[in-house]
Amino acid sequence: MPCPHRFAEYLQLEKLTFEPTTLIIGTFNPGWDNIGNTAQWFYGRTHDNNGNQNNNFWDVLPKLYGLPSLINSTSTQWKQFCVNQKIAITDIIANIEDADQRSANHRSMLSGYADDDIVQHFFDFDLVNLVRLLRRNSTISNVYITRSTTEAFWRNKTWDLKRYCEVNRLPVKSLLTPSGYAGIQQRKHNRANPNNQLSLPDYILTSWRAKWHETQNK
């Protein structure tokens, strides 16, 4: 059985009750029930099984708007925040066709939620038509991807999007990942700046503020 996106019904933005002005694009959230995915909505794996914070999205994003962290909030509160700020969220991949739920190796790889495992071990994907989303939601004026797209795999998956945005003069920017993988750059920063030590959430927030559109940047 292929691995569908856990929140497939939201990927096409058809559930929106507002006209979005900002689109945030992630990568993939596996939807199999037997891999321990407890996320209640996009970026919802805020803590690992030991209670440690491992995704800072809902801590960082509200702070861009001068609001308190939502890291310990519910999916209802996350969705209401997006309504209030006119933010839509989707992902690049809608389905991994060559994933096999019967395979222990595939379940193990996808339960780690690492983009590198997707890149290295799978080859057949259904992608979200991001250009179509933008055409259908013409109020979107800023687009953000929550990972680097310099790697060939992700660059190829987002080429049409970036070309469309270029032609239509629509800003599209890559943000530092809000996951724990950002700790590599954070630790490098702290070693180089002993008098300006930053926690991981604050390091991500500083990075995002440098790229976030000015009209909402606090």
Encode burial over 164-184: b for 16+ CB neighbours within 10 A, e otherwise.
Answer: bbeeeebebebbbbbbeebee
The amino acid occupying position 192 is A
Tens of pLDDT, residue by residue over 174-207, are 999 999 999 999 999 999 999 999 999 999 999 9
pTM score of the predicted model: 0.95
Cross-strand bridge partners of residue 95: 4, 126
Between the CA of residue 150 and those of 95, 140, 168, what are the distances in Å? 22, 24, 22
Alpha helices in the chain (DSSP H): 57-64, 75-85, 104-111, 115-121, 130-136, 152-157, 159-167, 183-192, 200-209
Tens of pLDDT, residue by residue over 22-54, are 999 999 999 999 998 989 999 998 776 666 678
Domain spans in the chain, listed from the N-terminal domain onward? 3-180
According to CATH, the topology of domain 3-180 is Uracil-DNA Glycosylase, subunit E (3.40.470)
Cross-strand bridge partners of residue 91: 26
Tens of pLDDT, residue by residue over 120-138, are 999 999 999 999 999 999 9
